[in-house]
């Protein structure tokens, strides 16, 4: 791979047929910091999380109303066929609404990736969205996942790690996904009240606290204990979402009002008292307590290492060179988490410019690079959604807060490759013979004269078949 091919494919999202040649690869990458569009047209024209928040609030209100009506008749909703089917209809509508947010967001993500002037930065958006993953296999997250990326990741991809982290941890999608919204301090005002009434037992939920340490900052097995996780979870109580829950409990907690879907600190849910985490005492009150913990986590050397390792692995191989990890770690620490400084260190690192391919493309990377390579200007959202599902990497659906794997072993299965071949065949057929793989392949992926790939593309039975072969050639499968 030449430096230009590396810049376009390993760093970028794949060359486009209509791209001008990259003459100064490193400068081309750095200059994208000025060209990145945090909110391109495809995203700007969509609603945002306040819309789905309002819809969700209405949904809960409707369900509540139904429950109240049933209770007044001495029944529960499930007792009568008519209220039961009404409740089902409301739930079904909510699911449809959620999907009506999710699918266009998938399309907007793809659209931005196809036409962006800053494919390297766009790739970094995908990287961070996967680092801070939410997953739509949790029904409550379906409608929010796209807005999470657009609102918490994109605006901060060229900012500071701290800003991105707080945007992530305070976004409704994350607060829902990792159950923070149901975490209540047992000794908080609401916790004590509920306990007095002898109603349901409320308590803290450790999900966000644990994943914030294990996945978002420090990394697994970096010296924190279960007790630290629990203490952090206590500190996080009160971090929740405004304007969605509408009942008396929400009024009690003080979360009923406020802009629907926005972050709110609900002091009446917060566990009072000082916390001790990794040997340090936090006696701040309220929201500031968890903020102070996060600030220490960000400054912890394990976090710098964790981020450096993952970034190095994304560009320089499944087992990244320790020298590169060290280089990136240093850049992260020295700049206090300034992300462009971190990216510049990556671009300047020789380990990232090794001529042989270092990464096997994930299905998402493959799809986007194939569409870019074939010159697609826009693709239907449903088509992208369907294709990613078929290829085994549905968008924003990794099924775990750890996100999708970033190593070849997870993606290079026999069936996965067969599906790529089938997809390549279909994508190529849609070009209807308008592209010549023989000229395209050297340009896009640097297929060398005299290589196997050049030979097999040249021998193809048809222009479409040649394109399909290009798309699944070893050069195209890797970056």
Partner 1 sequence: MITRRGFVSGATVGMASLGLVPGMAFARTAGNRRFVFIIQRGAADGLHIVAPVGDPAYVSARGALAKDFADAPRLDSMFALHPALERIGGLFKQGDALFVHAIASPYRDRSHFDGQNVLESGGVAAYRIKTGWLNRILPLLPADEARAIAVSETVPLTLRGSVQVASYAPSRLPGASADLLDRVSALYAHDPQLDAVWSKALGTRAMAGDLSRANVQDAAQMGALAAKLLVGDKAARIAMIETEGWDTHSAQSGRLRTQLKRLDAMVGGLRDGLGEAWADTVVLVATEFGRTVAINGTGGTDHGTASLAMLLGGAVRGGKVRADWPGLGQGALYQGRDLKPTAGLDALITGAMAEHFGLDPVRVKQQLFPELSAATPMQSLIRT
**Token couple for 105:** 């967001």
Residue 63 interacts with partner 1 (CB under 8 A): yes or no: no
Q: Which of 46, 249, 379, 460 binds partner 1 (CB under 8 A)?
A: 460
Residue 341 interacts with partner 1 (CB under 8 A): yes or no: no
Which of 79, 452 has the CB closer to partner 1?
A: 452
Which of 63, 379 has the CB closer to partner 1?
A: 379
| Contact by Cβ (8 Å): 424, 471 | yes
Question: CA 473 to CA 155: how far, in whole Å?
Answer: 36
Closest CA to 428 of 462, 464, 386, 383: 464
Lay out the site mask for partner 1 across 394-423 (x = CB under 8 A, - = otherwise). Answer: ------------------xxxx-xx--xx-
Minimum distance from residue 403 beta carbon to partner 1 (Å): 23
Please count the residues of the chain. Answer: 479
Which of 214, 475 has the CB closer to partner 1?
A: 475
Any idea what DSSP says for residue 362? P
Minimum distance from residue 372 beta carbon to partner 1 (Å): 21
Minimum distance from residue 317 beta carbon to partner 1 (Å): 14
Residue 445 interacts with partner 1 (CB under 8 A): yes or no: no
Which of 246, 465 has the CB closer to partner 1?
A: 465
Minimum distance from residue 1 beta carbon to partner 1 (Å): 15
Residue 472 interacts with partner 1 (CB under 8 A): yes or no: yes
Q: Beta strands 263-265 and 275-277: pairing type? A: unpaired
Q: Which of 223, 426, 433, 436 binds partner 1 (CB under 8 A)?
A: 426
Minimum distance from residue 128 beta carbon to partner 1 (Å): 29
Which of 81, 461 has the CB closer to partner 1?
A: 461
Closest CA to 89 of 69, 113, 118, 66: 66
Minimum distance from residue 435 beta carbon to partner 1 (Å): 17
Largest CA distance in the chain: 81
Minimum distance from residue 474 beta carbon to partner 1 (Å): 5
Closest CA to 186 of 200, 166, 172: 200
The number of residues that bind partner 1 (CB under 8 A) is 24
Which of 193, 460 has the CB closer to partner 1?
A: 460
CB under 8 A: which stretch of 88-96, 119-127, 368-376, 448-456 binds partner 1?
Answer: 448-456
State the sign of the Cα–Cα–Cα–Cα dihedral 224, 227, 230, 235.
Answer: negative
Question: CA 195 to CA 190: how far, in whole Å?
Answer: 8
**Token couple for 475:** 């050069």
Residue 160 interacts with partner 1 (CB under 8 A): yes or no: no
Minimum distance from residue 427 beta carbon to partner 1 (Å): 11
Angstrom distances, CA of residue 28 to CA of 7, 9, 127, 352, 445:
8, 13, 20, 15, 17
Angle at 410 between CA 407 and CA 415, to 5 degrees: 140
Element (H, E) at 276: strand 275-277
**Token couple for 52:** 């789905």
Which of 254, 357 has the CB closer to partner 1?
A: 357
Residues of this chain that bind partner 1 (CB under 8 A)? 412-415, 417-418, 421-422, 424-426, 452-453, 456, 459-461, 465, 468-469, 472-474, 477
């Amino acid at each position: 791979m030449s430096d230009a091919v590396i810049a376009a494919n390993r760093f970028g999202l794949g060359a486009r047929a209509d791209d001008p040649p990259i003459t100064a690869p490193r400068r081309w990458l750095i200059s994208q910091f000025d060209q990145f569009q945090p909110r391109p047209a495809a995203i700007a024209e969509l609603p945002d999380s306040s819309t789905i928040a309002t819809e969700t609030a209405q949904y809960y209100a409707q369900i509540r109303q139904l429950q109240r009506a049933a209770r007044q008749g001495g029944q529960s909703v499930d007792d009568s066929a008519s209220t039961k089917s009404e409740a089902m209809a409301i739930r079904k509508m909510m699911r449809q609404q959620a999907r009506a947010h999710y699918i266009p967001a998938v399309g907007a993500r793809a659209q931005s990736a196809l036409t962006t002037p800053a494919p390297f930065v766009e790739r970094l958006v995908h990287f961070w969205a996967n680092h801070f993953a939410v997953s739509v296999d949790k029904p409550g997250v379906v409608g929010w996942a796209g807005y999470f990326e657009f609102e918490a990741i994109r605006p901060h991809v060229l900012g500071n790690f701290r800003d991105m982290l707080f945007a992530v941890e305070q976004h409704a999608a994350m607060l829902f996904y990792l159950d923070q919204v149901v975490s209540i301090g047992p000794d908080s005002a609401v916790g004590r009240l509920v306990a007095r009434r002898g109603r349901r037992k409320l308590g803290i939920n450790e999900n966000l606290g644990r994943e914030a340490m294990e996945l978002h900052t420090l990394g697994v097995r970096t010296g924190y204990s279960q007790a630290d996780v629990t203490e952090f979870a206590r500190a996080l109580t009160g971090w929740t979402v405004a304007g969605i829950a509408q009942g008396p409990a929400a009024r009690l907690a003080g979360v009923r009002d406020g802009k629907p879907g926005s972050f709110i600190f609900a002091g009446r849910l917060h566990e009072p008292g000082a916390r001790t985490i990794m040997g340090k005492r936090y006696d701040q009150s309220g929201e500031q307590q968890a903020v102070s913990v996060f600030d220490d986590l960000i400054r912890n050397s394990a976090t710098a290492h964790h981020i450096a390792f993952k970034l190095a692995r994304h560009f320089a191989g499944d087992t990244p060179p320790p020298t590169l990890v060290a280089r990136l770690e240093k850049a992260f620490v020295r700049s206090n988490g300034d992300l462009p400084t971190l990216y510049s260190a990556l671009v300047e690192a020789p380990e990232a410019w090794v001529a042989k391919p270092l990464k096997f493309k994930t299905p998402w990377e493959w799809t986007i690079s194939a569409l870019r390579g074939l010159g697609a200007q826009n693709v239907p959202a449903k088509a992208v959604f369907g294709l990613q599902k078929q290829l085994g990497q549905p968008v924003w659906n990794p099924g775990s807060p750890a996100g999708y794997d970033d190593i070849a072993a997870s993606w290079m299965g026999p069936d996965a490759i067969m599906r790529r071949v089938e997809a390549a065949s279909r994508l190529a057929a849609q070009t209807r013979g308008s592209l010549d793989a023989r000229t395209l392949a050297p340009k896009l992926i640097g297929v060398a004269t005299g290589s196997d790939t050049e030979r097999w593309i040249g021998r193809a039975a048809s222009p479409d078949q040649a394109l399909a072969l290009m798309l699944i050639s070893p050069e195209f499968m890797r970056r």
